[in-house]
Chains A and B, each alone.
Chain A
Amino acid sequence: MTLKASLIIAASGLLLAACATKPAPTQDVTVSLEAISCDQNFTRSRAKPIGLDPEKPLTIDFEVQRSSPCKLDGNGNKQLYEVVALPRSTGPYLVTVASPKIGGSTFAPTAVTLDGAEQVRQIYDHDAFLNRGNSLMAIFQAEPEDRYLVISSNAGVAGDVKTEIQTVISSQSHYNAGFGTTSTMYFGREQQGGYTLSHTGKVSITTRAAPDRSISDNAGRSATTKP
């Protein structure tokens, strides 16, 4: 085989690999924890560390699974949980907890921060998780005293089914060779989806530097587009 032929085959392979569609992500749906035994004691032995970079957001992804530790909530309901060891910092920073909607299910989250002595500092129940894009999301400001973030499933809402109507806008661009211009056509359609809140599912945690809270830097969207 000539070098030229080899290069063509290699290039074709790379192109094909780039075009190959990834399999759609999936996650387990768990609406009942009846069959799972729960430990009375909270453990942070498998806490996942996350850093803090003042220049850019840092994200860790994990999945709360049936094999995750289980504890009882205040009402005696079972909940699966995972623990994140928060970064050591000298000042406040932002934490985003996102529970993406994947394949018709979403992890039903609650979030609690603990100090070094495992005392509760901040609580974000399920109501604090709002729709943002394709995720349920809570954003909060953490302080240096917040040392651990406990992400737990919420027995109160696990199993609930939510339906959602979404408007999807797609576009197609056409090149007009005669005039050397490109025009874009937009197409809108509605799609109905939904998801089941689950004891298990994927979670993303992101840390980023505390935002500038000065009034001039938060003047509204119009300000950013003003000529």
Chain B
Amino acid sequence: MTAIKRGAVLALALAVAACAQQPKSIPFVKPVGTEIQTIGLLVPDMPKQASASLATSPGKNAANAVAGAGLIGLAVGLVIAGVDAGIESNRGDSLQELLDAQSFDAPDTFTTALQASLEEKGYQVVSVPRSGQRQRGTERFQPTYTAPAGADVDAFLDVIVEGYGYGAASTSSSAPFRPVVLVETRLVSAANKSVLMRDDVVYNPMGNGGLQNRVTIPPAPQYSFADFDTLESAPEKATEGLDEALTKTAETVGTLLR
């Protein structure tokens, strides 16, 4: 998937999907007669690259506006949308370069924090490889789960990180860039494949709707960058902010299994 599509997926997930019909959260229930002691933690499905997105922008609005003006307008709108997506993609590339320069590994940070959170709740954790790579934005949780040879797993925790990075509500300086993370989670019984828990967790949601069906984490106030240039000029702080966002999100997923 191209960087443009990746950015678009995160922006869509953070801003628009919040308004869409969401599956209801399913609270964690321990199955009758069995104990959940060992969780098979599937390697989280996570983009390799961070994104830097605007929930709204003059470019997106201009593209929307002219796209409504007949076929010529639609063509112009697509060009503007393409330019806007290109800018977003460049920001994402810059953010990833910044994180690489800080030797920050987002998937490793998230997975380590998630494992620690589960262990803190008293679970033993076994890492389970993910079978195949899903096509982001079109596929879903893994259809079947198999424990590694020799491992005795009571339930499988499937976590899809739809996106992570930085986001801003608009180009206004009063809407700074802050860390964002969006994950979907599902815990499945190894014994009968029933869903023991299903929920979504969003760090710094960029929208108003549909939030009652997902756990939301307000962003830490200190990791705020007036614009993307300011973010780029403070790579250590920017990395620290994303580290905290991923860690808090992972800890919250653990809380769902209390």
Q: Which A residues form the contact surface with B (CB < 8 A)?
A: 92, 94, 127-128, 130-135, 137, 139-141, 163-169, 174, 176, 178-179, 181-190, 192, 211, 213-215, 217-226
Contact = CB atoms under 8 A, between A and B. Distances in A.
Given A186-B56, A218-B23, A226-B138, A165 B170 contact: no
Given A167-B55, A169-B208, A187-B170, 14 more contacts: A131-B217, A165-B178, A169-B15, A179-B70, A183-B65, A188-B172, A189-B170, A189-B172, A215-B188, A217-B195, A220-B184, A221-B140, A224-B23, A225-B20
Contacts of A223: 140
A222 B194 contact: no
Nearest to A168: B208
B61 interface: yes
B17 interface: yes
B60 interface: yes
Is chain A's binding surface mostly helix, strand, loop or mixed? strand
B23 to A, nearest CB: 6
28 contacts: A130-B215, A132-B25, A132-B213, A132-B214, A134-B211, A139-B27, A167-B204, A169-B56, A176-B68, A176-B69, A179-B68, A183-B65, A183-B68, A185-B61, A186-B15, A186-B56, A186-B61, A188-B56, A189-B170, A190-B169, A215-B143, A218-B23, A218-B198, A219-B143, A220-B184, A221-B140, A222-B138, A223-B140
A135 B206 CA distance: 17
A169 B211 CA distance: 13
Interface of B: 15, 17, 20-27, 29, 54-56, 60-61, 64-65, 67-70, 73, 137-141, 143, 160, 167-170, 172, 174-176, 178, 184, 186, 188, 193-196, 198, 200, 204-208, 211-219, 221, 252, 255, 258
B139 A222 contact: yes
Contact of B169 (A133, A167, A182): A167
Nearest to B58: A185
Nearest to A172: B61
B178 A183 contact: no
Given A168-B169, A214-B194, A190 B186 contact: no
B215 A188 contact: no
B206 A169 contact: yes
A117 B84 CA distance: 64
Contacts of B17: 221
Contacts of A164: 218
Contacts of A213: 26, 194-196
A179 B139 CA distance: 37
Contacts of A92: 29
Given A128-B258, A213-B195, A214-B194, A188 B169 contact: yes
A174 B143 CA distance: 43
Given A132-B215, A186-B60, A179 B206 contact: no
A91 to B, nearest CB: 12
A218 B195 contact: yes
Contact of A224 (B21, B137, B215): B21
A98 B2 CA distance: 41
A166 B203 CA distance: 11
A211 B139 CA distance: 22
